[in-house]
Amino acid sequence: RKEVEQDPGPFNVPEGATVAFNCTYSNSASQSFFWYRQDCRKEPKLLMSVYSSGNEDGRFTAQLNRASQYISLLIRDSKLSDSATYLCVVNGGGSYIPTFGRGTSLIVHP
Amino acid sequence: DTGVSQDPRHKITKRGQNVTFRCDPISEHNRLYWYRQTLGQGPEFLTYFQNEAQLEKSRLLSDRFSAERPKGSFSTLEIQRTEQGDSAMYLCASSLIGTTGELFFGEGSRLTVL
């Protein structure tokens, strides 16, 4: 079983739609969780950290479910510019090595 | 520009040649990571440094790969006797101990082995 698993998609949605991605992780001792965004042929950049209480940043909401070992990302009112790959990242649990999922591809069309 | 910089951005080489990549992290960052990414996959951990000490190395990393961070600042990643399977994007990232652990990535070095 991979340490961090994501559905690669692609998720193909119209502008204005709400879309949600999930990510599961295997190390129950993991402590830090992030969502990164990666545009085509560019480097990953932090989108948001994921806190135990859940957090929101504009149209983006991230949640953590420790009991089931998954994190989620919800994007409301999708924009064309949201088209990218979204990478789930898990850290901690006895290691300082951030572990990436394979990413979920989102395509927002007019 | 005080971000992470990598050099070269692109490298095309013939199988069997050696290549070296350089990474200059954000100056006050004490952790430096190397990842490899291929098409359709997420970044895969290779190795990381805390200051000048190499603390972990992926067991997937063959002995053809070596990395250094001699003075705790810039780092180099060398691949000896390159193989076609080494073709990938090599990403460097840095972070600061005591923060959220956010990684700041360079733009990557794309390697093509012919």
Q: Mind telling me how many Å the CA of B55 is from chain A's nearest CA?
A: 10
Instruction: State the pLDDT confidence band at A92, using cuts at 50, 70 and 90.
Output: confident
Span A32-71, pLDDT tens digits: 999 999 999 899 999 999 988 889 999 999 999 999 999 9
**What is the CB neighbour count within 10 angstroms for residue A77?**
11
| Inter-chain Cβ pairs, chain A and chain B, closer than 8 A | 53
Interatomic CA distance for residues B19 and A109, integer angstroms: 41
**Quick check: A2 pLDDT over 80?**
no
Confidence of residue B97 (pLDDT cuts 50, 70, 90): confident
Distance of CA B91 to the CA centre of its chain: 5
What sign for the dihedral angle of Cα A6, A38, A105, A17?
positive
Nearest chain A CA: its distance from B51 CA (Å): 14
Partner-chain contact A103 B42, CB within 8 Å: yes
CA B44 → CA A80, A97, B59, B62, B71, distances in Å? 28, 10, 12, 14, 25
| Amino acid B59: pLDDT | 86
CA distance A103 to chain B (A): 6
Give residue A94's pLDDT.
74
A23–chain B nearest CA distance, Å = 13
What's the Rg (C-alpha) of chain B?
Answer: 13
User: Which of A42, A43, A102 lies closest to B41 in CB terms?
Assistant: A102
Mapping DSSP to helix (H, G, I), strand (E, B) and coil, where does residue A88 land? strand
Chain B positions touching chain A (beta carbons under 8 Å): 31, 33, 35, 40-45, 48, 50, 55-56, 91, 100-103, 105-108
Across the interface, whether the CB atoms of A8 and B35 are under 8 A apart is answered no
Q: Which of A76, A81, A103 is nearest to A19 (CA)?
A: A76
Q: B23-75: per-residue pLDDT in tens? A: 999 999 999 999 999 999 999 999 999 999 999 999 878 899 999 999 889 99
pLDDT given at position B1: 56
Q: What percent of chain B has pLDDT over 70?
A: 99
Of residues A6, A40, A2, the one with CA closest to residue A21: A6
- The number of residues in chain B equals 114
pLDDT at position B112 is: 98
For B74-94, write each residue's pLDDT tens digit: 999 999 999 999 999 999 999
Q: B13-28 burial, b for 16+ CB within 10 Å, e for fewer? A: beeeeebebebbbbee
How does residue A1 score in pLDDT terms, banded at 50, 70 and 90? low
A-interface mutation test, from B44, B51, B102, B112, most A Cβ less than 10 A away: B102
In chain A, what percentage of residues exceed pLDDT 90? Answer: 81
